[in-house]
Every structure is written in C-alpha cells, then in structure tokens.
A and B are shown apart, each in its own frame.
Chain A
C-alpha cells in the first residue's frame, strides 16, 4: 500500500456520462497531482492542487475538472465522456523532499 488511495479501481460507463474519481493523498501531503495514462498519449499531467488551491494545469480537457477539499482529498470529474477518455487515471501526492507517491490508479472504460 503506497498510502495514496484511489477509488474506484475500475469504472465502466457509457459515452456522454459523468464520473467522479477520488483520491486521498498520503497523510500529511498537501499536494495532489492527477495524471492520465492512455495508449496513444502515454502518461500525461492533468492538474495539480496544493492545500486546496489549483497550482498547475496540464493537458486537461474543458470537460474535466478537479478540486481538493479541506480534508485534502481530491476529486477529478469527467463529463460528457467519450470513448477516447478510456484510460488509467493516476493520482500522486508529494511527500516532503523525498518524492512523489502514486496511487494504484482508476481504470476508466467508456463504452
């Protein structure tokens, strides 16, 4: 167990639907990062939050949004889903000077 918890592990949904992915960072970590891993795009940075505030944005679609709550957990909302959104979505948190710890990911399948 890496200490970063992502739920659900698997999600199957239909095109046009909306889903929410949840991430709880390691205890004490203030930063949360979201990444998408797809076959054609590889691992791409989506968005970063630090202590509730958005810090950086990567290749995140307008149909996607995220937030970090006061208890530091984060949610990634994906709406108007398309087949191409099928991917493995990772959350990572940063632990002091050591490095980044990734969760086990949420595998999203859009059918």
Chain B
C-alpha cells in the first residue's frame, strides 16, 4: 500500500525566513508521481509541482525549490524568504501512474507571521 507522511503538523516562521516542508512516501512501485499542493485559507487546492520517479532533477522556481531523493523516499519543499501570503496548508501527494488517484499526506499548516 502507498503512504505519504508529513511529520510536521504545524510550522510557524517569521516573514523572510526560509522554511522547508518535509514529505516521506512509501510505495513498492518503481513508477510513480509526486505532487505538492497548497490549500490557502480560502480552501481551494492549488497545484505547485509534479515530479515523476524517473526525474530526480531538483528545481528552483522563484522562491520555491524542491528536493527529490529516491534513496530516502523524500520529496521536500522549500520556500525561500517566506511571505505572509504563503500561509496555507501544504499537502504532499503520491500517484502511482498516469490517471491514477492521489494518496495525500496529512498536510503541514504553515503560518508566516509578519
């Protein structure tokens, strides 16, 4: 069975600090996709990034960066110079293949204080 763990339930940082959200996944499949979604207080789920199991290249996009390491089954997400608008619940999710449903982690609530 697949499982996604986000050990950090809540994180509080002060604006402009860097923050890393941890995600550890479990699957026996060799082909899978990993996602990060953001859920702001308004409630919608906003797509941030997708990575497949064959692409361990890490990426930086503006203030966001991702660190995918198959050796440790981790897919961590970093926000650099956090802003108040980054306050949200962040979900890591796993999908086993094209068109397959997600298994979501429990989420990490990030509060960025001014």
Residues of A within 8 A of B (CB): 2, 31, 33, 35, 42-45, 48, 50, 55-56, 58, 88, 90, 92, 94, 97-105, 107
Contact = CB atoms under 8 A, between A and B. Distances in A.
B45 interface: yes
Nearest to B104: A43
Looking at chain B, what size class is its interface with the partner chain?
Answer: 20 to 34
Contacts of B45: 90, 92, 102, 105
B42 to A, nearest CB: 8
Nearest to B101: A45
Given A42-B107, A99-B50, A33 B101 contact: yes
B43 interface: yes
Given A100-B47, A101-B47, A104-B43, A55 B99 contact: yes
26 contacts: A2-B44, A33-B102, A35-B102, A42-B104, A42-B105, A42-B106, A42-B107, A43-B91, A43-B93, A43-B102, A43-B107, A44-B104, A48-B101, A50-B99, A55-B99, A88-B43, A92-B45, A99-B35, A99-B47, A100-B35, A101-B47, A102-B44, A103-B44, A104-B43, A105-B43, A107-B43
Contacts of B104: 35, 42-44
Interface of B: 35, 37, 42-45, 47, 50, 91, 93, 98-107
The binding surface of chain A is classed by DSSP as strand
Nearest to B105: A42
Given A44-B104, A45-B102, 6 more contacts: A2-B44, A43-B93, A43-B104, A45-B101, A88-B43, A102-B45
